[in-house]
Amino acid sequence: MAAIHLPTIMLGSFAALLVFSVFFILDWLRARHRLELLMWSLSFFTGAIGFVLLAQRTNDYSFFTISLGNSLALAGLAFVWVGLRLFDARRLHIVAAFAGPVLWTVLTAGVPAIGSSVNIRLCIYSVLVAVYSTLIAREVLRDVVGETLPSRLVVAIWFFLHGFIYLLRIPFSFLWPVVAGGDARVLQPFWYSVITFELFVHIIVGGFSFFVLMKERMEWEHRKAAETDALTGLANRRAFFSRLDRLTSEDRGRGALLYMDIDHFKRINDQHGHSAGDMVLSAFGALLAREAPEGAVVARLGGEEFAAFLPDMGEGDAMAFGNHLRKVLSREGFNVDAGKISVSVSIGVASGCPLSSDELLKRADIALYRSKLEGRDRVTLWMPEVVVATA
């Protein structure tokens, strides 16, 4: 048996929660489009108010301390869950998110047998905390945007463990019941002291974990922006050659490179304006990304030049894909402000030799040049005789 001064723990938790709430709201004021920061600030603020109320508990049931205090603490977890769904741009479930606090209030305020029994309340509250902790951990693990934040797994495990620890309170409450009230002179079971301390630690770790997640998200966004062409959303030249270098060095001699150039692009700009040219580039980038086979690396290299590297694809399949792309482009055309315009593309293909990325691009460039010489709107495969013909 060990003495525990519950109000002191609750007030310490209140201070930690309030500090995190202030920091999150300050971050949100600097980036108001990140609503998850607002939700997390509300989470810590409602939790802080809840802990202030809980610190006032006595031996008798009180709506404000027992029902409302714990309900606000649960609402804090609900706000965390809502914030995580905003963090990953998922659909919100507001009713489901706040069902726990409502259920707790109804049961403790409306059923006297529950409101007056500290151990029954403890079991119900433990289940609700475990459910929210599991939902939060599951949400953290669901990486839908492909960013693979390093701390996701650690945060998820931490919340799973917190939920599991709270479930342990149920068998413990039957073996070593808790005494009602927050009087420091009352000796509580040792397990209750340990789990109460775990809650305080969880608040600290939980608060920092969301700061870490946000920091990693911003770093990922900056890295993605540095590697992405702003107009088309495809990889830019630097990102493409970085991946091409890695792929060709890992297994040279496999895969095919398609080097593409939109035909007469200057004419499109001159006749329809630069905004129409941008629409064509954006639409072609979308077409290329849509039609490319799984695993392909596609990019805009600059201007009207695009590229696609097709791992594990032979020259025959690469030529077939190039012709398919050319035919789809010819059939669909593009809609711009001035109306629908026809666009064609010339493509050069290099494949089948143990080459560096630079040499592979040189051969694809020679083949592309040959496509243009022979009338454009065609696909040409690099071959030794092409080198002789264009030397």
Question: Would the pLDDT of 119 be above 70?
Answer: yes
- Would you say 101 and 77 are in contact if contact means Cβ atoms under 8 Å apart? no
User: CA–CA separation, 179 vs 3, rounded Å?
Assistant: 11
194-222, pLDDT tens digit by residue? 888 889 899 999 999 999 999 999 998 88
What average pLDDT does range 351-380 have in this prediction? 86
pLDDT of residue 391: 30
End-to-end alpha carbon distance in the chain: 91
pLDDT of residue 28: 96
User: CA–CA separation, 163 vs 154, rounded Å?
Assistant: 14
User: CA–CA separation, 110 vs 88, rounded Å?
Assistant: 37
- Would you say 52 and 7 are in contact if contact means Cβ atoms under 8 Å apart? no
362 three-state secondary structure: helix
pLDDT of residue 202: 94
pLDDT grade, residue 386 (50/70/90)? very low
pLDDT of residue 194: 83
**Per-residue exposure over 137-154, b if at least 16 CB sit within 10 Å of its own CB, e if not:** bebbeeeeeeeebebbee
User: Which residue blocks in the chain are alpha helix, DSSP H?
Assistant: 6-30, 35-54, 69-87, 94-97, 99-110, 112-115, 118-141, 152-175, 190-227, 237-250, 265-272, 274-291, 315-332, 357-373, 384-390
pLDDT of residue 26: 96
pLDDT of residue 5: 65
pLDDT grade, residue 348 (50/70/90)? very high
pLDDT of residue 197: 83
219-260, pLDDT tens digit by residue? 988 888 888 998 999 999 999 988 888 887 766 557 899 999
58-68, pLDDT tens digit by residue? 777 889 989 99
Of all residues in the chain, the percent with pLDDT exceeding 90 is 56
What average pLDDT does range 92-118 have in this prediction? 93
Rounded (5°) CA angle 100-106-108: 100
Nearest to 323 by CA among 258, 252, 232: 258
Nearest to 129 by CA among 47, 194, 69, 74: 74
pLDDT of residue 60: 78
Residue 119's alpha-carbon distances to 77, 114, 123, 131, 171, in angstroms, are: 22, 9, 6, 19, 10
Strand partners, 261: 305, 346
| More confident call, 138 vs 383 | 138
pLDDT of residue 269: 87
- How deeply is 350 buried, as exposed, middle or buried, from its count of CB atoms within 10 A (0-12, 13-18, 19+)? buried
263-294, pLDDT tens digit by residue? 999 988 888 888 888 999 999 999 999 999 98
- Would you say 370 and 386 are in contact if contact means Cβ atoms under 8 Å apart? yes
User: Token pair for residue 281?
Assistant: 């580039």
| More confident call, 148 vs 23 | 23
pLDDT of residue 128: 97
CA atoms in the 13 A half-sphere facing the CB of 27:
20
Nearest to 302 by CA among 326, 281, 286, 276: 281
pLDDT of residue 337: 73
Mean pLDDT of the chain: 87
- Would you say 36 and 87 are in contact if contact means Cβ atoms under 8 Å apart? yes
- Amino acid (1-letter code) at residue 363: R
Nearest to 314 by CA among 326, 304, 322, 306: 322
